[in-house]
Structure 1
Amino acid sequence: MAGGLAALLDDIAVLAKLAAASVDDIGAAAGRASAKAAGVVIDDTAVTPRYLHGFTADRELPVIRRIAFGSLRNKLLFILPAALLLSQFLPWLLTPILMLGGTYLAYEGAEKVYELLTGHAKEKKALPAAAQGPDSEKAMVKGAIRTDFILSAEIMVIALNEVADEGFVNRAVILVVVALGITVLVYGVVALIVKMDDIGLRLAETRQGAVAATGRALVRAMPKVLAVLSTVGIVAMLWVGGHILLVGVDDLGWHAPYDLVHHWEEAVAGVGGVGGFLAWLVNTLASAVIGLLVGAVVVAVMHLVPRRKGAVTSH
C-alpha cells in the first residue's frame, strides 16, 4: 500500500512542482502516516458492511459507491481544510474536537448494544432495506457517511500528527494522498466482502470440481462472515471511541486512566511470544469498556430526555 501511495504522490508532486521538498521525502511521510492510521482503517472497514444489511444484490455496489464518495467528500472538503487550519492556528482545539467524535462513536456502539439487548434490533430487521423504499436507503447511507466522518477525522488527524514537522503545503499534499489511498482501500475491500457471495455463486454455476466447491463454500460462509463483521463493527466503534477518549483525557492533563491502562499493558508485555499481542488486547479491551461506559451514559440521557419531555407535555 505504501508503494502505491508513493507512486500516486510522485504524480501529484510533478504536477504541482513542489520544489520545496523531495518526492521521496513526501512519499515516505505519506506511507508512515497511512501506516500509523492502520488501526482506524481496519475499524472503518469493519463498520461499513453493517450498513449494507438488507440491501438486494443490485443495490449493494451503488450504495457502497455513494458512501465512498461521501467519505472522500468528508475527507477532502471538510476534514482536510479544517485539520490544516486548526493545526496551523488553533492546534489545542484538535483534541477536544476528536473527543466529541469519540463520544459520538461510543454512543453509536452503545446504542447498537442497547438495541440488541432490548430486542429493538430485531424489529428494525423485520423488513429488508430494499423493501422499506428509497427513504430507508437514503437514511442508511447518511448514517454510514456520518459514522465515516468521525472515523475519517481520526484517520486524518493521526496522519497529520505524523507529519506535523512538514511544511504547510507538504502536509496538505500528504493528507490528500492519504485520503485518496485509504478511501480506495477501505471501500474496495468492503465491495469485495459484500460481493463475495455473488462471486461464489458465479463460480458454483459456471465451474466444476474444486473451483465450484469453493464457490459453494463462499456462498454458505458469507452470511456468517457478514454477521461477524457486523458484530466487529459495533465493537470497533466502542474500541475506537473509547481509545480517542482515553488518549484525549491524557493529552488534556488527566493522566490517571491512560497510566493505569499502560501499567496493565506492561504487566503482560513480557509474556514470551505473545506479550505484544496481549498488550494490544489489554489496550483494546480497556478502550472498548471505556467506550461502552461513556456510550451507555449518552444512550441513557438520549432515552431519558424524550421521556421527561413527554411527561411534562402530558401534564
Structure 2
Amino acid sequence: MSVGLLALLDDVAGLVKVAAASLDDIAGQAAKAGVKAAGAVIDDAAVTPRYVDGFSADRELPIVGRIAWGSIKNKIIFLLPAALLLSLFLPWAITPLLMIGGAYLCYEGAEKVFHALAPHDAETHEASLEPVAISPQTLEEQKVSGAIRTDFILSAEIMTIALAAIEAPDIWTRALILAVVAVGITVAVYGGVALIVKADDFGLWTATHARTGAGRAFGRGIVKAMPGFMQVLSLVGTAAMTWVGGSIVAHGLYEFGIDGPEHIIEAAAHWAEQAFPFMAAFAGWFATALVDFIIGLALGALLIPVAGYVVAPVWKAIKGLLPQRA
C-alpha cells in the first residue's frame, strides 16, 4: 500500500516537473517573441498618447482603458486565431494582408503630415471621410475608434513577428505563447501610456503638496516639460506609423520579387554604418527608418486622394444600402 502511494507521489512529482518545465519554456519563448517584436511595441507606445490629446484630465485614463481593451480584443479574439489559421492553411496570404495594413499606416501618417502643412485642406478631406464631431462624446468615440484601428495594424505586426519567433511544434503551445505575448505587451504599452498621460497631474500634485522646495520645484518642472514632451511624442508617433508602414510595404514587395526599395534601404543602412563607425548600429537603424519613412510618406500621399475620391464614396454607398439604426 505504502509502496503504491510512494510510486503515485513520484509520478505526480514527475508530472509537476514536466508542467513546470513547459511553463518555463512558454515564458521563455514568450519573452523571446516579445523582444523580437520590440520595435513595433515601441511604435505602438509612441502612437497612442496623441489620441488623448485635447481631452479633460478626467477622461484620459478611461480613454486609454477603452483603447487598451480594444487592443486586447484585437490580439486575442481576431489576430491570434487568424495568425495561427493563416500560418497553417494560407501562409501566402499573410504578406499581402500585412501590406494592406502597412498601406493604411502610411495613409494615417501622411494624413497627419498633411494636416500639419495644410490644416484647412486636411479638415475638408477628413470631413469627406466621416462626420465632423459635434460633441465631446462624438469626438471621443471617433478618437477611440481611430486608435483601435491603428492598434489593429500594429498588433498584427507584433503578433506576426512573435509567431515567427516561436519554436513550439504544436498549435496549442503556440497559441498559449501568443496569448501571453498579447496580454504582456498590451499591459506594458498601455500601462506606460497611462503613466505618460497622467504625468502632468502627478507633477501638479507634487508641486502643490511636496514637503520640500526641491520636491515642489521637481513637480513644476514636470508640469512645464509635459506639453513639449507630448508634442515631441506626437511627432514620433506620426513618424513611427509612417516608417512602420513603409517598412511593411517594402518587405512585402521584396517577397513578391520587387526588390528595388529593399536594396535602397540596405544601401542606405550600409552607407550610414560606414560613415559613422563609432555608432554604426544606431546609424544603420536611423538610415533604415528614414528611408522607410520616405517610402511610407510617398505612398501615404498617393493614398490620400484615393481615400477621398474612391474609398469614401464607395463606403458611403455601401452604408446607404445597409439598414439604418435609430
Asked whether the 8 Å contact 1:21–1:170 carries over to 2, the reply is no
Pick one of 196, 207, 213 that aligns with 1:209.
Answer: 213
Deviation at 1:300, TM superposition (A): 2.2
**Distance (Å, rounded) in 1 between the aligned partners of 2:103 and 2:311:** 20
2:138 maps to 135
2:203 maps to 200
Unaligned runs of 5+ in 1: 1-15, 310-315
Asked whether the 8 Å contact 1:55–1:130 carries over to 2, the reply is no
1:174 maps to 177
| Match runs of 1:282-301 below 5 Å | 282-301=287-306
1:47 maps to 47
1:184 maps to 187
Instruction: Indicate the RMSD between aligned Cα atoms, in angstroms.
Output: 2.5
1:73 maps to 73
What secondary structure, in the 3-state scheme, does the structure 2 residue paired with 1:22 have?
helix
1:253 maps to 257
Q: Are the structure 2 counterparts of residues 120 and 42 from structure 1 closer, same or farther at C-alpha, using a change threshold of 3 Å?
A: farther
2:105 maps to 105
**Quick one: which amino acid aligns to residue 226 of structure 2?**
M
Deviation at 1:231, TM superposition (A): 1.1
1:225 maps to 229
**Distance (Å, rounded) in 2 between the aligned partners of 1:40 and 1:277:** 17
Deviation at 1:17, TM superposition (A): 11
Of 170-179 and 245-254, the range deviating more from structure 2: 245-254
**Quick one: which amino acid aligns to residue 172 of structure 2?**
V
Q: Report how many aligned residue pairs link the two structures.
A: 290
% identity of equivalent residues: 51
Q: Are the structure 2 counterparts of residues 155 and 242 from structure 1 closer, same or farther at C-alpha, using a change threshold of 3 Å?
A: same
Unaligned runs of 5+ in 2: 1-15, 125-131, 315-326
Deviation at 1:180, TM superposition (A): 0.5
Deviation at 1:255, TM superposition (A): 2.1
Pick one of 241, 244, 250 that aligns with 2:248.
Answer: 244
2:162 maps to 159
What secondary structure, in the 3-state scheme, does the structure 2 residue paired with 1:254 have?
coil
Asked whether the 8 Å contact 1:56–1:130 carries over to 2, the reply is no
1:303 maps to 308
Deviation at 1:259, TM superposition (A): 2.1
What secondary structure, in the 3-state scheme, does the structure 1 residue paired with 2:55 have?
coil
| Match runs of 1:26-37 below 5 Å | 26-37=26-37
**Distance (Å, rounded) in 1 between the aligned partners of 2:247 and 2:76:** 24
Q: Are the structure 2 counterparts of residues 171 and 269 from structure 1 closer, same or farther at C-alpha, using a change threshold of 3 Å?
A: same
What secondary structure, in the 3-state scheme, does the structure 2 residue paired with 1:274 have?
helix
Q: Are the structure 2 counterparts of residues 188 and 113 from structure 1 closer, same or farther at C-alpha, using a change threshold of 3 Å?
A: same
What secondary structure, in the 3-state scheme, does the structure 2 residue paired with 1:166 have?
coil
1:9 maps to none
